[in-house]
Structure 1
Amino acid sequence: MPPKRKNDESNLELTARERKKLKVADARTIAVQPVASGSGSGAANSGNAVAGSSKTIVRFDTMQGLPASIDVERFTEARAYEIDAMQKAIKTAGESSTHRAWQTLPRHLRRRAASHDVRRVPVGLREKARAEMDPMRRKTSGRPKRGKANQISRTEALLRRQRDKTWLETHIWHAKRAKMENMWGYRLAVTPTEKAFRPSHRASVHGSILHDASYYAIIELKGPQTLLQAALEGCCDPQGSGMKRCITGGRACETHIYKHDSYPFDLIGPITIIWQPLSPESKSTPPSEPPGKSVKRKGKGKGKQIDTSTSPGPAETSRVIWVRAHPAIFEDVFEALQTSASHALQAKKEKDPEAHATIEIADLRGCINAFEIMGPKSSQVIKGALSPAGGEDREDFKKFWESLSDLQTPGNIPRGMVIGLKVLDPRLKFPPKNAKPYYPDPTQPTTHPSPAFIFPSALTAQSEIWDAEKRGGLKKPKYKKKDIDERRAKNLVPGTPLNPLRQDDRIPILLIQRSLEPCPPSSSTSASISNNSQGIHGWTLLFPAGWSMPFLTSLVYTGTRIAGQRERTKQFFEAGVPGFPMDYPTLSVYDATSKERAENARQRWERTPPAKKPNYEKLGTRSPWSADWAVVLGLEKPKSRDDAGEEEGLVSTQRENPPDSTAMQVDSPNSAPRPWLLRGPKVPSLLSGAFITPVQFLGEINKLRVRHHMPALDISVRADDLMKTALVMMRTKMIGRGAPSDLANIYKMDDVEARKWIKAFSKKGAARLGDTSDLSEHDLGEIKPAQEDVVGYVTTGDVSLVRGEGFAIGAIPLMQYLALRKQAQRSVRYWRRPVHCLTSSLSNPPGFPNLPSL
């Protein structure tokens, strides 16, 4: 028997493990009825025991003495002790078990909820788990009972949870493996639950990483080609390179969209334009829609027809384009396209009153899904997981698909190249295998063509995904996963792919080359990019709705990691490309995001003890929670302490001005200068002049507007105000240690202080050669800059894993940039004197930003 008291003297010598073993052994021991002394017991055991001995000897070698019949009642009464002992032993042995049912599972199958929910345990162990559960807990763990009239299905229960947001098709899969948040009307994955910061970066640089971008909105425009071009020219960035070469459909164009006829003001955000390629037989045929008939679109959104009239003539070619935009700016993009299309139709009608045309705009949200697969191994992953359907007779596509496994990186093929194809159900090929690159003998001629020599064309971009009827027919797969698994179970050799049947689905898809880099390699500004910058390349996979999970399971099985919003933002940061919307100041989306972030940062600061947080009042920080771009541009004056107190809810002691005071009169918002962001691939060349005046800058802007058939800016827009209110994006790096953070201040310095910094860094390099000096950069760092010297803010800053040092993306006023560039030129002349020498060569002097990008 185990000890019953903790303080028992016999218990002090035993360890906890020994006491547990004794307890388990005692619970598993069956009690035996003791032998009683006396004639009664001797008479009872006379046939089987030998008296006169200290031990009882039981004989099993004889059948003598057994009765011919047994009385059941008397036999049960005689064996009542043994039966009761057996029942108690069974009960105690079960209760003293060291492992419960859910604890016997492998660690990757254990769930915390399995301890109180039988449905979390595999089917084979549910009976044992149900017996181990407490009856009261078992009663409360089940679902509440409902009447038959009030019972709801699982589908209805899940739809109720999507009243104020939308779930992607991969939501349940991501919800089990990532942290989810509500963003832009969707429930999206923010970051994986596992530690995946550095592994995700390595996957984007050396492997492959996948992000479900199905929340991006797609707007379809259909109409005559000339009118569609005019509509895009009225609202797209005039600097956008490649607009004309993308009309064939072989390339996708990445540009920015503005409000109609408002360039360079009223920037909305970045968009991607894809033209439907024309088939060879449809180039000379008129549109198939009858005259005057309105076309209705299927999907989540409703089609909107700008003008209903007769169809265009045979000379006009009807085209279809897709515009992919961020969900935060969907309404603004849709309105801008609608307004621009209306003006294009009006201009067409004024030019030729007898001509009639139609432009249809439709919302395709929920009709087309998208995956972003980034990394050098993304090509091998796509080829290993997908299989083209038979009957493909395009020679260029065959060459491209054969050479896809040998592609070292998707950046080797033309930027924005579009590939259209039809693939089999990826579940038929499960489990997939990555395509291995082929390394031929360099001395032998290779027969595999390089995909870099395949030129984008309309023939390689042909796909049936543009057809709404075929997309609707694929909304729901014909076979469920259960049916596919039953077919796979009948294979004689496990793991072999299934042979496609005639009834299996063939899914049309689009592959679009995607690159994240500061500017195209062919641009004239590539020399200004830092040598250690590295672009990230991959593919954008477009496919019909309803097929996210079949594609996701096959792509993830190949070893591809999953990226959330944090990992996708870091891809932009490591590539040196501003991400939307956090790196787009002066936009309404940026203002809403920064306001929410400022409120969260302020609440976190208020919860922090005073000894653990900075005192911004003593430090003199003007705006610790958000960037005051209007003050940096000089459009507003810094807020005083009294004004700040009034905003926080404090009552000001100053007497207010009377209502009829002239000090209360301010300019209207339309007449007041407004800040705007200068973006585009030609910004570095636009500002490359040694000396640019406001008049010259206004002339360059008007040239870009005229190129897109837009009138020059109004006379009310003064050249000085245009240049004064402009912001440019910039990339900065840390010369020494440290890393900038978000909302870090960017200060300016005079020539004297700049020369001191240059001398300090020069002496730091010369000290290694034996030169000593009392000038230290630490002493210069102790100088407290004034808040009036703030010329910009960092929008995204952190330690760059690619560069191995602090890196930041920010914005400064255009006037300040020109002033800093002149100061840098003066400092370079001083910096290059023979007296001062550096051990390393730098592309820019310390403390000065690089050329603006994009």
Structure 2
Amino acid sequence: MSSKTEHKRRKLYKSRIIRTELQDPSFKDERLNVEEFLKSREFEVNQLQMAQLKSKKNSSTRCFQSLPRSMRRRTASHNIKRVPRRLRPRMIREMTSNNGSILSKKPKHSRGRELYKLKRLHRLLKLATVAKSKGKPLDLPTGIDLKEKLRIVRSHIAELQNAKDAEVQTYDNMHLKFIKLHQQSLNNKLGSMDNTAVNELAVFKPHALKYSNRQKKFKWLPTHVWHAKRAHMVKRWGFNIALQPSQKCYRATHRNYLHSHCIAWDTSYIGTIILHHSTSLTPLIHLVGQLTKNEAVKPKFLKNHKIWEGIIYHENNSIGQSQIIWQDLPNVKQCILRVHPSLYESFFKLLLKLSPKDVTVFDCRYSLASFQVTGPAALTALGAVMKTADNNENWKQLCSFRDNSMVPTGSSISFYINDPRYLNKPHKYHHNIREDELDLIIAIKEGKVFDSGSFEDLFTYQGRIKSYKNQPSLKDLDLRRNIIVNNDNVDNLGKTLPRNPDDPLVPIHLSKLENGYYQVIVPWYWNLPVWYKLMRFPEVRYGGLRQMHQLNLETNRPTYPFDYPFWYHGFLSSFIQGQEFQKKWELRPKGKRLNYSKLKIHNLPGELLGELGDPFVSDWRYLQVLQYALKVHKECVHLDPSSFDVSNWTTLGHRCLKQLQDVYECVRDVQRQDSEFENADEEKILPIPVKYKGEYQFDPTKIDKVSVVIRDEIPKLPVTLISVEIEGTGHIATNARLYQVPSHDWQSWLENNDQKPVRAKYLVGFITTGTINLATGKHTGIGCMSHEVNQLLNKEKHHHLLLRNVGEVTFRLVKFQDIPL
């Protein structure tokens, strides 16, 4: 063994030695010296703590290994710029002593094709900067090569130089004319513009020319580059959205939400539609009343600036969720609707179809951005970043609230803030809690703490254009900071920059949602500056779609669209998720993947072999056919399999349901027909087999047969949203199967929690989301079950079901409760 290895081993051994006093001097002549005894114990405790620190330090021999988890970077092992400044000298010494190579700069000059490509890209960016400086931004098409882009940009600049007064295309619509004039002649250096469409869907315009080709199908949010460095991204609903942070954060998310910090999400993918009328709200009230069954047109929403959240309907059928804000000002009569991107385009076309001619529909998908914050420190963090222009005392007092329940749900406020980039670093308001807290809460609830000017500027294209006027760049702000430093004004060094008279004000809208989150709406190109400063506040953590899903599960709230299988986009999300699960299963070797078709789940005579339905999804089509067939064959009596006759067919090609096995065979017939339909050349259509509650449309004329010829003959199955919690040990996974407890085994299951197998005919629902719930310390889930069975159990006050995870044979007792829609 080399001396170097021996030295390292001795060093590690010594670091784990805990020094103790074997002969205690405090005990002499059968007497205890209390002072000496306390000193000895203090010495041993200190040695124990030192041993723990030494052992931890010696296990990480390099400085980048001793960093906190949130500061670790993969490239820190060879790039000293990825460790804090105070540790860089130590890292250089370690790399030099270990003959490690310090990452050197790239060669000053590239070679060959790489050099040629970089030069052309440099020319393109240079020309694009010239076009932007002239206030005439260029909308380049995606999917073209670099050479074609250069040609388009050059011709664009030539046109600007030849035509001093360019003719502006005349538009019939006054709003559209104003927007086009702004887009053709910007009022700032950064290229920020209001991308609003009038009575049509807006076209996304990539802000960064360099990355335009990457946004052909899936658009980037304003904070995409920031998230891409720190989170796993996923392509959903036409956008690139953060799925979850790169670091593990399941328990940290629960702690930050409940106890200490706050969590922020960029929700700019939620689209905004504005309905505008020039003189009155009456046509808007009539239109929105049809869509919400008059729920969103109550006086408390029309007058108090309260935000409405609920279900939207079309022809008495629920189609999704929406947020609605009314704007009843002297100069503006508008209704703002915020809709999930999976529903946005179809809902926008529906509004165009239903709107009267004197109502203008604005598509503000790419002109209004938003983010959401939740947690005890949410208001404190927002106050540290968003400094009001008029030094509003009400906002300062509101930011001192640490209890989210103090702010009324649905309330909203609007005000102007300064450019957050003025701040050197975010600092919270030091505001004492006054005795008139209750007065402030009442004023917020009644809509009295509200700035109508900022509210109008945020939701009108004229106001958003005004917020971009003279928008300073980071370079301009740095020059202003350098002037302060050069003047040796030590008092102002590192503090907030003073606002110039020409600097714009940023209108924002803050509202409290039903789930306890604070939603902030800002102009599209102001979202990134606010987000950067918000992430610099120490108590803020960022989250993705999975963190939002996790917190919804902890509060027994279904997540749209995943937990809504009775809506088209919820059913489609389940279908896509099932395809992903199936791909992962197929990638595994055959010897190491579970064969779902040969499982003996219902280990009873005459029962089916294998998993019920598609094992990768919540198979609502299977449940629909099973429940309908059992409804037809209500008085089914189990017979021995040997007596089963497979030729129970009528002359019209219908299967007669005389036995329980006939029911199972009928389900297989429909599954086989669905498979043939999906494999056909015709366009694939995903029929929704379930609906939310309602009556079961059962035709008594077909009481003795089920057609396997006509696909859509089986009516939709009414289902109810429920949450379940496991009673004993075990876990709950997504796509788990829910069974009704057999009436003859009810008492034994409740008293002994028996592990008896249950027949497939008792299947009543599925779990759409299930995992460990840190709020309760148990496994919980959200899903749907048959509405008819739900009513029966609620009537009998039996709130228990049996749950079985996919691929398992164990049945577990769970307690369920209904979730209102």
TM range (shorter): 0.5 to 0.7
1:453 matched to 2:420: no
1:730 matched to 2:722: yes
1:538 matched to 2:517: yes
How do 1:348-387 residues align onto structure 2 when only pairs under 5 Å count?
Answer: 358-387=358-387
Could you tell me how far 1:622 is from its partner in structure 2?
A: 1.4
- The match for 1:60 is none
SS of 1:850's partner is strand
Aligned-residue CA RMSD in angstroms?
Answer: 4.3
How do 1:623-638 residues align onto structure 2 when only pairs under 5 Å count?
Answer: 623=613, 624-633=615-624, 634-635=627-628
> What amino acid is aligned across from residue 324 of structure 2 in structure 1?
I
**Is the CA contact 1:235–1:336 (under 8 Å) kept in the aligned structure 2?**
no
- The match for 1:34 is none
1:810 matched to 2:810: no
- The match for 2:307 is 252
How do 1:645-664 residues align onto structure 2 when only pairs under 5 Å count?
Answer: none
**Is the CA contact 1:247–1:275 (under 8 Å) kept in the aligned structure 2?**
yes
- The match for 1:754 is 746
- The match for 2:227 is 174
CA distance in 2, matches of 1:406, 1:15: 58
**Is the CA contact 1:379–1:409 (under 8 Å) kept in the aligned structure 2?**
no
Structure 1, residues 164-198: CA drift from partner, whole Å, max 9, x if none? 22111111111111111211111111111122222
- The match for 2:505 is 506
SS of 1:547's partner is helix
Structure 1, residues 522-568: CA drift from partner, whole Å, max 9, x if none? xxxxxxxxxxxxxxx23101111211221012211112001111111
How do 1:440-589 residues align onto structure 2 when only pairs under 5 Å count?
Answer: 446=435, 451-457=440-446, 459-461=448-450, 462=452, 463=455, 464-475=457-468, 478-489=471-482, 490=485, 491-493=489-491, 494-516=493-515, 537-559=516-538, 560-589=540-569
Percent identity over the alignment is 21
Give the TM-score normalised by the residue count of structure 2: 0.63
How do 1:609-648 residues align onto structure 2 when only pairs under 5 Å count?
Answer: 609-610=589-590, 612-617=592-597, 618=599, 619=601, 620-623=610-613, 624-633=615-624, 634-635=627-628
Could you tell me how far 1:674 is from its partner in structure 2?
A: 6.3
Assess, with a 3 A threshold, how the Cα gap between structure 1 residues 110 and 677 changes in structure 2: closer, same or farther: closer
SS of 1:145's partner is helix
- The match for 2:11 is none
**Is the CA contact 1:418–1:512 (under 8 Å) kept in the aligned structure 2?**
yes
- The match for 2:202 is none
How do 1:284-433 residues align onto structure 2 when only pairs under 5 Å count?
Answer: 319-341=333-355, 345=356, 358-390=358-390, 398=392, 400-433=394-427
Assess, with a 3 A threshold, how the Cα gap between structure 1 residues 621 and 674 changes in structure 2: closer, same or farther: closer
CA distance in 1, matches of 2:245, 2:517: 21
Could you tell me how far 1:214 is from its partner in structure 2?
A: 0.7
Could you tell me how far 1:120 is from its partner in structure 2?
A: 13
Which one of 773, 782, 794 corresponds to residue 800 of structure 1?
773
CA distance in 2, matches of 1:788, 1:374: 44
Could you tell me how far 1:751 is from its partner in structure 2?
A: 2.3
**Is the CA contact 1:797–1:808 (under 8 Å) kept in the aligned structure 2?**
yes
SS of 1:454's partner is helix
Could you tell me how far 1:498 is from its partner in structure 2?
A: 1.9
Could you tell me how far 1:326 is from its partner in structure 2?
A: 0.7
Structure 1, residues 263-305: CA drift from partner, whole Å, max 9, x if none? 1x2x321100011142xxx2xxxx7xxxxxxxxxxxxxxxxxx
Could you tell me how far 1:378 is from its partner in structure 2?
A: 0.7
Give the TM-score normalised by the residue count of structure 1: 0.61
Assess, with a 3 A threshold, how the Cα gap between structure 1 residues 109 and 196 changes in structure 2: closer, same or farther: closer
**Is the CA contact 1:410–1:539 (under 8 Å) kept in the aligned structure 2?**
no
**Is the CA contact 1:180–1:189 (under 8 Å) kept in the aligned structure 2?**
yes
CA distance in 2, matches of 1:497, 1:846: 59
Unaligned residue ranges in structure 1 (runs of 5+)? 1-11, 19-101, 288-317, 346-356, 393-397, 441-445, 517-536, 653-668, 680-692, 696-720, 761-776, 829-844
CA distance in 2, matches of 1:475, 1:377: 30
CA distance in 2, matches of 1:277, 1:606: 57
CA distance in 2, matches of 1:375, 1:515: 14
1:820 matched to 2:793: yes
Structure 1, residues 127-179: CA drift from partner, whole Å, max 9, x if none? x9999879999867993424966766464331121122211111111111111
Could you tell me how far 1:450 is from its partner in structure 2?
A: 5.3
How do 1:708-787 residues align onto structure 2 when only pairs under 5 Å count?
Answer: 725-760=717-752, 777=753, 780-781=754-755, 783-787=756-760
Assess, with a 3 A threshold, how the Cα gap between structure 1 residues 375 and 436 changes in structure 2: closer, same or farther: farther
Assess, with a 3 A threshold, how the Cα gap between structure 1 residues 593 and 332 changes in structure 2: closer, same or farther: same
- The match for 2:15 is none
SS of 1:794's partner is strand
SS of 2:735's partner is coil
> What amino acid is aligned across from residue 738 of structure 1 in structure 2?
G
Q: Rg: which structure is higher?
A: 1
Unaligned residue ranges in structure 2 (runs of 5+)? 8-62, 126-207, 602-609, 630-662, 680-684, 698-713, 802-811
Could you tell me how far 1:237 is from its partner in structure 2?
A: 4.7
Assess, with a 3 A threshold, how the Cα gap between structure 1 residues 615 and 502 changes in structure 2: closer, same or farther: same
**Is the CA contact 1:754–1:827 (under 8 Å) kept in the aligned structure 2?**
no
| Richer in helix (by share) | 2
> What amino acid is aligned across from residue 777 of structure 2 in structure 1?
G
- The match for 1:184 is 237
**Is the CA contact 1:252–1:512 (under 8 Å) kept in the aligned structure 2?**
yes
CA distance in 2, matches of 1:434, 1:741: 42
Assess, with a 3 A threshold, how the Cα gap between structure 1 residues 111 and 198 changes in structure 2: closer, same or farther: closer
CA distance in 1, matches of 2:74, 2:816: 52
CA distance in 1, matches of 2:284, 2:459: 17
CA distance in 2, matches of 1:373, 1:651: 43
**Is the CA contact 2:78–2:102 (under 8 Å) kept in the aligned structure 1?**
no
Assess, with a 3 A threshold, how the Cα gap between structure 1 residues 147 and 456 changes in structure 2: closer, same or farther: closer
**Is the CA contact 1:181–1:188 (under 8 Å) kept in the aligned structure 2?**
yes
